[in-house]
Amino acid sequence: MTCDESSATGESDAVKKGTTDEGRDPFVLSGAKVLEGVGSMVVVAVGTRSFYGKIMMAMRQGETAVTPLQRKLDILAEQIAKYGMSAAILLLITLTVKYLVNCALAPEFPPASIMFSQFVSIVIEAITVVVVAVPEGLPMAVTISLAYATTKMLQDGNLVRQLAACETMGGATVVCTDKTGTLTQNRMTVVRGVVAGRELQSRAEARAFFETLPRETRSLLLEGIAVNSTAFEGPDEQGNIDFIGSKSECALLGFGKVCGLDYRCERADHKTARVYPFSSEKKTMTTIVPVTGREGLFHVHAKGASEIVLGSCTRMIGSDGTVTELDDKARAELQTHIS
């Protein structure tokens, strides 16, 4: 069995599952998709105790990281507080000494009530210096500047959902990204192909290309697409109806759907006699189904690496639907299409 665990691990590579005796991982992570193979499983954890649930809980409980600008502002505020406190202490000492000297040089020493009132005034002046030194409008000014930066980045085609991301993306010089699913749609489609001597040039020509094929060839092609696959149609993460499974199988089913294929009916009409799941050793997947109305005859549908499948073939279907021997000339021509 092969699983897609990219939703939990971020790795797009398919992960093979098996027993510990085979040296493989026997656990299927929650949120993973089965791409190939079949099997039975035992649920050992659900909800917050599952692997996916632990990730969600960690994200919910995680603290917001401090941005470089916030770190610099914290250092600046600390320095301003230190300088303001130093200035306030120096002012307090200077004014106190000045007042005491003036009192000593006066003809009459002032009474205690007047001295106390003057000392209170000096302390208030020192506290005022500390209060003024603290930049109360700095956080608001930073927020306004970041909000303005989001509008400028939006004009450049960068959608920013968090203000803190402005300074991060604004200071980025190199952006490294994985194109699959990020710069692409993370899906495959059939755009080129060769069937019965006819060549498909583009995705838009799929329906017209299919109509040009002989009737028996069309039936055999749709049968192979439907039965030699483990993909199926169902709701995705967003609730949209789409094909789920191996990307290549989803692409083939999508091609068949454009050509009018109802894969459910095909699978119901053709019960499989034997299935050989895809493996990296064989690089092919093979499904054997009995021929309807002909006892003892079977169709063997194989898909996988083109050169491997071609190497196992001995006959081919011509443009008129007749079966002919696959000679060296035809094999070389097909090899050029593959390469």
The beta strands (E) that lie in 236-283 are given as: 241-244, 274-276
* DSSP for 28-62, written as a single string: PPTT-EEEE----------GGGSHHHHHHHHHHHP
**Whole-Å CA distances, 188 to 33, 185, 193, 203, 245:** 16, 8, 14, 11, 12
> What gap in Å lies between CA 17 and CA 213, rounded to an integer?
40
> Would you say 227 and 272 are in contact if contact means Cβ atoms under 8 Å apart?
yes
Which residue in the list 21, 25, 74, 178 is annotated as catalytic? 178
Judge residue 5's burial from the number of C-beta atoms within 10 Å of its C-beta, 0-12 exposed, 13-18 middle, 19 or more buried.
buried
> Would you say 327 and 334 are in contact if contact means Cβ atoms under 8 Å apart?
no
Q: Which amino acid is at 70?
A: Q
Provide CB contacts within 8 A for 226, sequence distance 6+.
Answer: 253, 256, 261, 263, 266, 267, 270
Count the Cβ atoms, other than its own, within 10 Å of residue 225. 25
Q: Which of 20, 89, 33 is nearest to 249 (CA)?
A: 33
Known catalytic membership, residue 178: yes
Judge residue 276's burial from the number of C-beta atoms within 10 Å of its C-beta, 0-12 exposed, 13-18 middle, 19 or more buried.
middle
Which positions are annotated as active-site residues?
178
